[in-house]
């Protein structure tokens, strides 16, 4: 791992640590979590490591923490309801919502191109950074600190979802539930093309059932593209009364 950290950057990172209530033993892990690929690509000579690997780890840690919490607290929920609840809680819009609550975009290292196009407010970037932050806390402070951090910010979202006050629409779950009533065929999401450089990609996705394309969508991340494809499929099915 390689980073560019100077005194000014350390002061900025100190601010976000105070805000989230966790002090890193290894400040480079925090900087790594907040480094976007666009910044690394614009500073290739430094061979800077960006946050996608931490995002991968954080996604798994987040899923485990939320699963453990809802499994224990809502012991009367069957597996299907737990799955739906978890999907609502850990969806991209909810993660970006939390990231905005702690002003995470303010502390990120972004490339100039991403900066001028609103990257600090982009849903996919913020959601990925929040997952990367979870991953960095997990490495730095182990599972219990990661759990404390996640539940500090996600418990309210879980309770809202349980009480029917869902802040976020999970189109993929809605589509799956609708189709399961009428077909046992597998639902597939396929990335059919990608456009743009690595740090500024747009993904084009199709949702397919029994070889039929139900909807198409695009987004700055695969998750966002899948949600948009599912949304289009639901809109089409409502109009045509399919399946």
CA pseudo-torsion sign 174, 176, 179, 181: negative
Is 59 labeled as catalytic in the residue annotation? Answer: yes
CB 94 within 8 A of CB 153: no
The catalytic residue among 59, 128, 206, 226 is: 59
198: tokens are 């690595």
Q: Which helix (H) or strand (E) holds 207?
A: strand 202-209
H-helix or E-strand containing 72?
Answer: helix 52-73
**Nearest Cα to 126, choosing from 155, 162, 144, 101?**
101
| Contact of 69 with 77, CB cutoff 8 Å | no
Q: Which residues face 206 on adjacent strands? A: 190, 216
d(CA 102, CA 33): 15
Asked whether 229 and 207 are in contact (CB, 8 A), the reply is yes
Which one is catalytic: 55, 131, 140, 226?
131
Whole-angstrom distance, CA of residue 27 vs CA of residue 150: 19
81 is catalytic: no
Q: What φ, ψ does residue 219 adopt, rounded to 5°? A: -175, 170
Q: Which two tokens stand for residue 178?
A: 């609708």
Q: How many C-beta atoms lie closer than 10 Å to residue 2's C-beta?
A: 11
Active site positions, annotated? 59, 131
């Amino acid at each position: 791992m390689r980073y560019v950290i100077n005194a000014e950057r350390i002061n900025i990172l100190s601010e976000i640590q105070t805000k989230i209530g966790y002090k890193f033993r290894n400040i480079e892990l925090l900087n790594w979590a907040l480094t976007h690929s666009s910044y690394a690509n614009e500073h290739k000579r430094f061979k800077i490591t960006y946050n996608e690997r931490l995002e991968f780890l954080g996604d798994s840690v987040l899923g485990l923490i939320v699963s453990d919490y809802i499994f224990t607290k809502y012991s009367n929920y069957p597996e299907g309801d737990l799955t739906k609840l978890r999907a609502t809680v850990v969806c991209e819009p909810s993660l970006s919502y939390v990231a905005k609550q702690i002003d995470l975009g303010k502390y990120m290292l972004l490339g100039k191109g991403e900066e001028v196009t609103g990257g600090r407010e982009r849903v996919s970037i913020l959601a990925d950074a929040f997952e990367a932050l979870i991953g960095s806390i997990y490495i730095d402070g182990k599972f219990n600190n990661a759990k404390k951090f996640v539940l500090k910010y996600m418990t309210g979202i879980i309770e809202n979802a349980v009480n029917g006050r869902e802040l976020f629409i999970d189109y993929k779950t809605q589509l799956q539930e609708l189709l399961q009533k009428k077909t046992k065929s597998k639902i597939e999401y396929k990335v059919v093309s990608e456009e743009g450089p690595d740090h500024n990609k747009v993904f084009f996705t199709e949702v397919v059932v029994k070889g039929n394309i139900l909807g198409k969508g695009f987004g700055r991340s695969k998750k966002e593209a899948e949600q948009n494809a599912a949304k289009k499929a639901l809109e089409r099915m409502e109009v045509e009364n399919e399946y």
